[in-house]
């Protein structure tokens, strides 16, 4: 009867994990709660969950009861052996097992006796991590029943962990290619060094400040990053020139917006990047109509993102030295922008930039500190 | 309640939960999304004792009259053709998708939102019905799971709701996994391909070089029996191999004459630049494409250590980089350049073979190029034709773009 009741409790825990995966957004928190109960259900002293860090070839704990993060080499101890083989292990007495590494006991002041160690595998069979339950309270070794429950929890957790990892990785992949592209672009236009990343960061802040939805903020951020992509096709005679441009040169320069359009249209964006091609090429269009490239969208039909990027771009360009132009101070550049509010620029965007003025320097420092950064706001 | 009865209840519960445990193990081993969703709904139906089970996902559908619309589209519907429902209160599934709350009905026909047309079409009689939302990790509803006609009882119970929610959660994780993978693949793909187009656009003298080298490398890879992820990595390596050329000044890159020694050094520096860029972004590359930077940046290394930028030798040069090296030389020599005529393919092949004999290039790779030569010649023609077409289009449209009057460029810069 007791055994049966224990089984029910274990299986109910499994069911709860399945249900809560669905509503809990903080996966680490959820796993900590479930594993806390798991320790009681399996009548054990402690349980832990380690993930593989591919870069350092280590295992690190995301669930470790009563201790801080534990980190050790992927080929150490019972956990390492579990990760290496992908097979679960039932160890009746850890100190009798040559694979056991007593170092962590020494560090944490814990005394390990029996261990149940189970790998977390993804759908491709790759090991993502290891979970362990330590010291069955009745002194007996863990049994087959315990193993089945832990395996089921581990497989559910693995799927959820992989989702989170995939999400992070997807953000990283986009960031990797765009950062690479911007670095290549900067080599073409050394004076534009940082320019795209600065426009990107300022445009993001402004879009946020103006209260746009996160999805739109992200789209404007990417459009800001890519707005000058077309400069790849502008000759460096023009990009590197130290004096004002001739009208013919100006024409070739202006044409970079058309190239941006052409390059972005050649790409087929999906997800959060979809729509950047409708924003980025129009950063030189004027609020009351006109500007380049000619033709629609014009004036009031301009997407809000284009109007934001027009302001951040012009603001930053005024503060740089190009074509023999003297760089303006931040105040003078802000003033220059405000002079053209309602004609060249959208007043709403101009006001937002002014409200952000106290933060602008800090944002610039942040951009320069991390040339390749993870996207989003949090990092 | 007597002991015996209590035990029976516990055992029944264990049985159902056991089934759930088995399913969770089964689910992690299925990789194909459609099969996985079918499996989830089949097991949900079995465990809940339902006559039928359906899974709907919200999809963006093109509507000829109203443009794009979000609809519920059935993915797994037993015995029924595809069902499409609007996200509104004209059906139970639509209501659950809209409100995000579970709906448990004893008799569907008593609910005004129930849409009985599918019953009529399929000669089915819906009685009890349990419908649960599927949510992604951001909490948005991405679909709906539904089970019909509880066997051996008049309606689905509270316990059934929990179990269906657990299945829904599994299904939404699977769907999200598949979607992320697809999105990641597509974004990465389009950015890298688009970038190659942009690199080629600047360097019109070697127009199409990036695309041709990539295509040749793939043909060589296939001739060597490469597949799947290896070919994909090779392809991205090819598309990125000349990224650093963006840093070479126009006067050298576009020089219509033979280059001086110094100028040649500058050209060579593009490989170091490619490497610097790719090294900087490598930690963000998806795990399965971590080899790409090395492949792209080592395409000028030679097996005997005479290459650049790192003078790597033998095994230090990956198979992908060796393939790219051969593809790159083959295109450089067979393409028309301003300072010299293109060499015929057979002459170039002889040169490559000599390089292999003398230990600079991988002879297995050169042999594979020889085997793949007919295909290589064919893809080269296809790519060159496409580039010519793009040029023609640009001649027409580019004229308008470039000669448009530009006034009022107060916002210029």
Average pLDDT, integer, range A235-246: 86
Tokens of A191: 């004076």
Does the pLDDT value for residue B171 go beyond 80? yes
Percent of chain B with pLDDT over 90: 41
pLDDT-derived band at A22 (thresholds 50, 70, 90) equals low
Mean pLDDT of chain A, nearest integer: 88
The helix, strand and coil proportions of chain B, stated in percent and rounded to the nearest 5, come to: 60, 15, 25
Average pLDDT, integer, range B78-107: 89
Q: What is the pLDDT of residue B406?
A: 31
- Could you give the CA distance from residue B383 to residue B211 in angstroms, rounded to a whole number? 8
The helix, strand and coil proportions of chain A, stated in percent and rounded to the nearest 5, come to: 55, 10, 30
Contacts of A176 in chain B (CB under 8 A): 281-282, 284-285
What residues have CB less than 8 Å from A138, skipping those under 6 apart? Answer: A43
Q: Strands, DSSP E only, in A137-179?
A: none
Q: Which helix (H) or strand (E) holds A127?
A: strand A127-136
Cβ neighbours around A84 below 10 Å, total: 14
Query: Which of residues A253 and B78 earns the better pLDDT score?
Result: A253
Percent of chain A with pLDDT over 90: 50
Pick from A21, A252, A313: which is nearest to B173 by CB?
A: A21
Tokens of A237: 């005679």
pLDDT-derived band at B1 (thresholds 50, 70, 90) equals low
Tens digit of each residue's pLDDT (9 = 90 or more) over B210-243: 999 999 999 999 999 999 999 999 999 999 998 8
Pick from B7, B21, B277: which is nearest to A11 by CB?
A: B21
Which chain A residue is nearest to residue B184, measuring alpha carbons?
A: A170
Q: Is residue A303 helix, strand or coil?
A: coil
Cα separation values, A27 from A21, A32, B317, Å:
7, 9, 41
- DSSP per-residue letters across A237-298: HHHT-SSPPPHHHHHHHHTHHHHHHHHHHHS---GGGTTGGGTGGGTTB-TTS-BSS-SSS-
Q: List the one residue out of B147, B145, B126, B136 whose CA is nearest residue B48.
A: B147
Cα distance from B178 to chain A (closest Cα, Å)?
9
pLDDT-derived band at A378 (thresholds 50, 70, 90) equals very low
Q: Cβ B21–A148 below 8 Å, yes or no?
A: yes
Q: Cβ A187–B244 below 8 Å, yes or no?
A: yes
Cα distance from A264 to chain B (closest Cα, Å)?
7
What residues have CB less than 8 Å from B362, skipping those under 6 apart? Answer: B303, B319, B322, B323, B325, B326, B356
Cα distance from B243 to chain A (closest Cα, Å)?
7
Tokens of A9: 């409790």
Q: Is residue B362 helix, strand or coil?
A: coil
Cα separation values, A215 from A218, A271, A272, B143, B280, Å:
5, 10, 7, 20, 27
Tokens of B135: 């949510």
Query: Which of residues B368 and B265 earns the better pLDDT score?
Result: B368
Rank A98-102, B85-89, B220-224, B332-336 by mean pLDDT and report only the highest. B220-224
Q: In what side-by-side order are the strands of the sheet with B67-77?
A: B84-86, B67-77, B50-63, B141-150, B129-135, B103-105
Cα A125 versus chain centre, distance:
25
Pick from A174, A184, A374: which is nearest to B277 by CB?
A: A184
Cα distance from A281 to chain B (closest Cα, Å)?
13
Q: Cβ B410–A344 below 8 Å, yes or no?
A: yes
**What angle do the packed helices A195-209 and A144-188 form, to 10 degrees?**
120
Fill in the DSSP letter of residue B227: -
Please state the φ and ψ torsions of residue A187, each to the nearest 5 degrees. -65, -30
Q: List the one residue out of B326, B331, B347, B292 whose CA is nearest residue B208.
A: B331
Q: Which helix (H) or strand (E) holds A52?
A: strand A44-53
Tally of helices (H runs) and strands (E runs) in chain A = 13, 6
Q: What is the pLDDT of residue A379?
A: 29
Chain B neighbours among A 326-355 (CB < 8 Å)? 340, 343-345
Cα distance from A28 to chain B (closest Cα, Å)?
13
Q: Cβ A55–B283 below 8 Å, yes or no?
A: yes
What residues have CB less than 8 Å from A100, skipping those under 6 apart? Answer: A77, A78, A91, A94, A112, A115
Cα distance from A109 to chain B (closest Cα, Å)?
35
Are A115 and A141 within 8 A, CB to CB? no
What residues have CB less than 8 Å from B212, skipping those under 6 apart? Answer: B331, B335, B379, B380, B383, B384
Are B38 and B54 within 8 A, CB to CB? no
Tens digit of each residue's pLDDT (9 = 90 or more) over A55-108: 889 999 988 877 778 888 988 899 999 999 999 999 999 999 999 999 888 888
- Could you give the CA distance from residue B210 to residue B276 in angstroms, rounded to a whole number? 19
Find the largest Cα–Cα distance for chain A: 92
Query: Which of residues A215 and B398 earns the better pLDDT score?
Result: A215
Pick from B20, B246, B285: which is nearest to A188 by CB?
A: B246
Asked if ipTM goes beyond 0.85, one says no
What residues have CB less than 8 Å from B20, skipping those under 6 apart? Answer: A11, A14, A15, A18, B47, B163, B166
Number of A to B CB contacts under 8 A, please give it: 254
pLDDT-derived band at A312 (thresholds 50, 70, 90) equals very high
**What angle do the packed helices B158-202 and B33-48 form, to 10 degrees?**
170
Pick from A123, A149, A172: which is nearest to B31 by CB?
A: A123
Q: List the one residue out of B244, B311, B231, B240 whose CA is nearest residue B271.
A: B244
Does the pLDDT value for residue B34 go beyond 70? yes
Cβ neighbours around B18 below 10 Å, total: 16
Are A39 and A46 within 8 A, CB to CB? yes
Which chain A residue is nearest to residue B176, measuring alpha carbons?
A: A163
Cβ neighbours around B233 below 10 Å, total: 22
Q: List the one residue out of B110, B174, B186 whose CA is nearest residue B136.
A: B174
What residues have CB less than 8 Å from A321, skipping those under 6 apart? Answer: A191, A327
Mutate which: B13, B15, B24, vs A, most A CBs within 10 A: B24
Geometric angle at alpha carbon A53, from A50 and A57, rounded to 5°: 110
Neighbouring-strand partners of residue B67: B63
Q: What is the pLDDT of residue B78?
A: 64
pLDDT-derived band at A377 (thresholds 50, 70, 90) equals very low
Q: Is the peptide bond before B122 cis (omega within 30 degrees of 0)?
A: no
- Could you give the CA distance from residue B46 to residue B38 in angstroms, rounded to a whole number? 12
Q: Is residue B249 helix, strand or coil?
A: coil
Average pLDDT, integer, range B123-147: 90
């Amino acid at each position: 009867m007791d055994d049966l009741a224990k089984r029910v409790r274990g299986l109910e825990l499994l069911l709860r994990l399945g249900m809560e995966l669905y509503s809990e957004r903080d996966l680490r928190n959820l796993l900590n709660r479930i594993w806390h109960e798991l320790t009681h259900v399996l009548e054990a002293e402690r349980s832990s969950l380690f993930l593989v860090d591919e870069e350092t070839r280590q295992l690190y704990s995301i669930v470790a009861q009563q201790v801080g993060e534990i980190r050790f080499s992927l080929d150490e101890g019972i956990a390492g052996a579990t990760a290496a083989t992908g097979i679960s292990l039932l160890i009746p007495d850890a100190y009798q097992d040559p694979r056991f590494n007593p170092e962590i006991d020494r560090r944490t002041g814990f005394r390990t006796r029996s261990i149940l160690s189970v790998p977390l595998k993804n759908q491709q069979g790759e090991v993502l991590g290891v979970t362990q339950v330590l010291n069955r309270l009745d002194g007996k070794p863990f049994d087959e029943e315990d193993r089945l429950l832990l395996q089921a929890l581990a497989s559910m957790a693995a799927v959820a962990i992989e989702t989170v990892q995939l999400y992070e990785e997807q953000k990283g992949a986009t960031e990797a290619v765009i950062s690479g592209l911007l670095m290549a672009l900067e080599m073409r236009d050394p004076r534009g060094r940082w320019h795209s990343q600065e426009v990107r960061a300022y445009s993001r802040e402004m879009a946020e400040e103006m209260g746009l939805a996160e999805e739109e903020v992200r789209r404007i951020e990417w459009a800001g990053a890519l707005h000058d992509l077309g400069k790849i096709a502008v000759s460096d005679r023009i990009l590197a020139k130290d004096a004002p441009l001739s009208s013919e040169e100006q024409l070739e320069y202006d044409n970079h917006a058309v190239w941006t359009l052409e390059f972005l249209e050649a790409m087929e964006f999906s997800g959060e990047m979809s729509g950047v091609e409708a924003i980025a090429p129009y950063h030189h269009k004027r609020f009351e109509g006109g500007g380049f490239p000619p033709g629609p969208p014009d004036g009031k039909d301009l997407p809000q993102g284009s109007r934001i990027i027009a302001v951040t771009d012009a603001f930053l360009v005024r503060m740089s030295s190009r074509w023999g132009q003297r760089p303006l101070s931040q105040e003078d550049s802000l003033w220059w922008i405000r002079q053209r509010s309602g004609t060249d620029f959208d007043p709403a965007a101009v006001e937002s930039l002014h409200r952000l003025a106290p933060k602008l320097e800090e944002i610039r420092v942040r951009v320069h500190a991390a040339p390749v950064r993870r996207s989003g706001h949090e990092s | 309640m007597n002991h015996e009865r209590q035990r029976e209840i516990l055992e029944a519960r264990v049985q159902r939960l056991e089934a759930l445990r088995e399913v969770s193990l089964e689910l992690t081993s299925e990789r194909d999304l459609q099969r996985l969703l079918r499996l989830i709904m089949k097991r949900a139906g079995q465990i809940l004792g339902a006559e039928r089970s359906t899974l709907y996902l919200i999809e963006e559908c093109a509507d000829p009259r109203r443009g794009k619309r979000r609809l519920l589209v059935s993915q797994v519907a037993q015995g029924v053709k595809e069902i499409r429902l609007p996200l509104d209160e004209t059906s139970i599934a639509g209501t659950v998708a809209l409100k995000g709350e579970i709906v448990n009905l004893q008799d569907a026909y008593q609910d005004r939102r129930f849409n009985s047309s599918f019953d009529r079409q399929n000669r089915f009689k819906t009685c009890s019905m349990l419908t649960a939302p599927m949510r992604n990790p951001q909490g948005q509803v991405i679909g709906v799971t539904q089970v019909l006609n509880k066997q051996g009882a008049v309606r689905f119970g509270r316990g059934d709701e929990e179990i269906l929610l657990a299945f829904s959660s599994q299904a939404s994780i699977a769907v999200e996994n598949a979607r992320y993978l697809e999105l990641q693949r597509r974004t990465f793909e389009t950015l890298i391909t688009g970038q190659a187009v942009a690199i080629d656009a600047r360097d019109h003298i070697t127009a199409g070089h990036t695309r041709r080298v990539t295509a040749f490398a793939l043909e060589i890879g296939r001739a060597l029996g490469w597949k799947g992820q290896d070919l994909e990595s090779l392809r991205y390596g090819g598309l990125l191999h000349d990224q650093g050329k963006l840093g070479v000044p126009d006067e050298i890159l576009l020089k219509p004459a033979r280059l001086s020694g110094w100028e040649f050094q500058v050209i060579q520096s593009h490989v170091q630049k490619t490497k610097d860029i790719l090294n900087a972004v490598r930690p963000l590359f998806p795990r399965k494409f971590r080899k790409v930077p090395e492949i792209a940046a080592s395409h000028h290394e030679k097996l005997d250590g005479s290459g650049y930028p790192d003078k790597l030798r033998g095994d230090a040069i990956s198979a992908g980089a060796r393939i790219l090296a051969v593809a790159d030389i083959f295109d450089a020599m067979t393409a028309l350049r301003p300072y010299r005529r293109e060499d015929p393919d057979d002459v170039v092949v002889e040169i490559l073979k000599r390089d292999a004999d003398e230990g600079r290039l991988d002879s297995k790779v050169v042999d594979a190029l020889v085997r793949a030569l007919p295909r290589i010649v064919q893809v080269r023609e296809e790519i060159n034709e496409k580039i010519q077409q793009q040029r023609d289009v640009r001649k027409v449209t580019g004229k308008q773009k470039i000669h448009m009057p530009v006034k009022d460029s107060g916002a210029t810069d």
